[in-house]
Structure 1
Amino acid sequence: MSNLKQVSIYTRGITTASGAGGYGAILLYQNYRKELSGGFQLTTNNRMDILAAIAGLKALQTRCKVTVYNNNGYLVDAIANNWALRWQANNWKNSDKQPTANVDLWEQLLELYSQHDVEFIRIKQCAGNQEYQRCNYISRQAAHQQNLPVDEGYQPRFPLGTP
């Protein structure tokens, strides 16, 4: 039996039609609750989902047993199926020998992941889960803030000015 604190983290990342994005994370431990959110002026949904998990794990002050809930298959499968660890071992190349997207965030996430006992679970977006719905709300609020910072790691697939 583990002595580690058992923490649940609900995470959500979203983007708007304008390309702005927001993330939300809700940490739950016994009667303790913490909500985190932030946003960027131009980013992707995948980046926001990964960043939500990073924000949640970064908030932990000691080694914990963590369950991270998210609906993004890219995020959940990359961790649950060890894809991200393989990408890292292959110098950030995927199975097609192409560069892995979002390396800056995967590096941060894997570092935090290694510090805890973490399980990622994919939940259905429409599951009616109160915490996930709240997470969705705070991530949307974050994406609609004024004067959002630049997502320095964002690499547009088609740079501005290209057809």
Structure 2
Amino acid sequence: MSKKKKPSVLIYTDGACSGNPGPGGWAALLSWNGKEKEISGGEPDTTNNRMEMRAIIEALKALTRPCRVEIRSDSALIINAFKQNWVGSWIKRGWKKSNKKPVENQDLWKEMLKAMKPHDVTWTKVKGHADDERNNHVDGLAVEASKQYQ
């Protein structure tokens, strides 16, 4: 019996916050097989980092089966947390950073790890507010989403 190849999905994500903390929005653009789907949402009292994380979590949760996923984000924190395995170090230290202080937003890091489980995820850092059309698009969607909470 041949093992079915996991579908490939490209996901652009972004978060926005009016004030930090303040009302925030998140958005994601999922692309696969020439199709695209946009999702977005927000919260009345949040931070930019929480909205960046929420965008990734909700995008992963929107996938209906295990996939090969490339996440493109302008969040250096999130990209570095996975590419430089900060998350692995945090877990080993009981969710503490190298300075012994607790990792911020542990609830969302844990939720993100859970959402990643069924998928093969790779991370790509994109330059924010630059010439990446799709990144600019999700930025606009996140800003629009945040306006519903202002």
Give the TM-score normalised by the residue count of structure 2: 0.91
Pairs within 5 Å for 1:11-90: 11-17=13-19, 19-90=22-93
Which 5+ residue runs of structure 1 have no aligned equivalent? 149-163
Q: What residue identity is the alignment partner of 2:17?
A: T
Other-structure match for 2:133: 130
Cα distance in 2 for partners of 1:5, 1:136 equals 26
Q: Shift of residue 39 of structure 1?
A: 0.7
1:46-105 superposed Cα distances (whole Å, 9 cap, x missing partner): 111011110111111111110000011101100111111221232111111110100000
Cα distance in 2 for partners of 1:13, 1:91 equals 27
Question: Comparing 16-25 with 73-82, which one deviates more in the overlay?
Answer: 16-25
From 115, 119, 129, the equivalent of 2:118 is 115
Percent same amino acid at aligned positions?
34
Q: What residue identity is the alignment partner of 1:141?
A: E
From 6, 9, 12, the equivalent of 1:10 is 12
**Quick check: which one's strand share is greater?**
2
Other-structure match for 2:145: 142
Cα distance in 2 for partners of 1:62, 1:42 equals 32
SS for the counterpart of 1:60 is: coil
Cα distance in 1 for partners of 2:122, 2:18 equals 29
Q: What residue identity is the alignment partner of 1:37?
A: S
SS for the counterpart of 2:31 is: strand
The alignment of Structure 1 onto Structure 2 pairs a total of residues equal to: 146
1:33-55 superposed Cα distances (whole Å, 9 cap, x missing partner): 11111111111111110111101
Cα distance in 2 for partners of 1:31, 1:56 equals 17
Which 5+ residue runs of structure 2 have no aligned equivalent? none
Q: Shift of residue 126 of structure 1?
A: 3.2
Moved over 2 A (4+): none
Cα distance in 1 for partners of 2:88, 2:52 equals 18
Give the TM-score normalised by the residue count of structure 1: 0.84
SS for the counterpart of 2:30 is: strand
